[in-house]
Amino acid sequence: MSFERALREFELHLSAERAASPETRRAYLSDVRGFGRFLGADARPDAAAAPDVFRWLADLQRRLEPSTVARKLASLRSFYRFLAREGVCSADPTLGIPAPRSPQRLPRPIAVDECEALAEADAPARSAAFPAARLRDRALVELLYGAGLRVGELVSLDVRDADLRRGEVRVWGKGGKERIVPLPGAAREALAAWLGPRQRPGFLAEPLFTSLRPGAGGERRRLSTRDVRRTLARRARRAGVAGRIHPHRLRHSYATHLLDMGADLREIQELLGHASLSTTQKYTGVSAERLLQVYDRAHPRARRRGRREPRGEET
């Protein structure tokens, strides 16, 4: 079996059996296709062996970050597990190969006032699409931060998934898992304002976030993840929020701010749709670091750390 045929069947497996998002499918296929190119035009996936994988990883490590190399190896592992299950390969060449170690990085949340500035940074009034852009983009940011959604979850929502009367949104997460996430008041108000002018028969089945101008067929297309990233970057510039602002930082901010306000870690796990509590626990490191920063700024004894205190009389 050629790599291209194996990839077509792997893509069908990712879509139909694992319910992977389009972004995940593209990443997996790109990673595995890169391995095929490394082996050569006439290479077959069932002919690859562990030394081939080691040589590929060594080549990647000269050019890429360890986290990126680890992701590519994970994609290849999934591909060969699928082929082994289907009987295409008798042995998995990735078996027992360790992933490169990556430095542990804490999430980088945005401050609460910066999140509020992002929500309030309206489109310029001179824009022809000002009213609709203002309503849509504010609702988009309020939902990203107010519900802690992944960008892929956000763009896959339909109008019927947002229940403003009950104040919740139905989300389809990784692996097609459904969860219900409560909406804060600001997100409910922003969504009501965006959806108000769109109410007509059949609109509940439409995408929640769409382009502002209709296409050739008269329909407005569903926003892509790239559209959302561009919108957020524009709003960050208008709001004067420094640094690289992307949708996942709002999700990090959502989780960190909930933890700072006393939310239980298990509850945050449910809200984020994490399969494992260990994934959610990284936010405890962020909050502990923030507490140390507050201590260093505010506590009188913290300012003296490293200085030798004069000894008084013993009592």
Active-site option among 174, 198, 234, 282: 174
Taking a C-beta distance cutoff of 8 angstroms, is the pair 5, 29 a contact?
no
Give the integer Cα–Cα distance in Å for 96 and 264.
37
**How do 162-163 and 178-182 pair as beta strands?**
unpaired
Active-site option among 248, 266, 303, 304: 248
Active-site option among 251, 252, 254, 257: 251
Integer angstrom CA distances of residue 216 from 22, 112, 136, 203? 24, 41, 21, 19
Report residue 81 CA to chain centroid gap: 25
**How do 168-172 and 162-163 pair as beta strands?**
antiparallel
Give the integer Cα–Cα distance in Å for 68 and 102.
9
Give the integer Cα–Cα distance in Å for 9 and 71.
21
Q: Which stretch of DSSP H or E encloses residue 178?
A: strand 178-182
Q: Three-state DSSP class for 162? A: strand
* 72 a catalytic residue: no
Q: Which two tokens stand for residue 26?
A: 């593209």
Angle between helices 225-239 and 247-260 (to 10 degrees): 70
* 266 a catalytic residue: no
For residue 251, the one-letter residue type is R
* 274 a catalytic residue: yes
* 188 a catalytic residue: no
Active-site option among 179, 222, 229, 274: 274
Give the integer Cα–Cα distance in Å for 57 and 209.
40
Taking residue 201's Cβ as centre, other Cβ atoms within 10 Å add up to 5
* 177 a catalytic residue: no
Long-range contacts of 276-282 (CB under 8 A, 24+ apart): 280/255, 282/106, 282/107
Which residues lie below 8 Å from residue 147, measured CB to CB, with a gap of 6+? Answer: 169, 171, 181, 182, 183, 184, 187, 254, 271
Active site residues: 150, 174, 248, 251, 274, 283
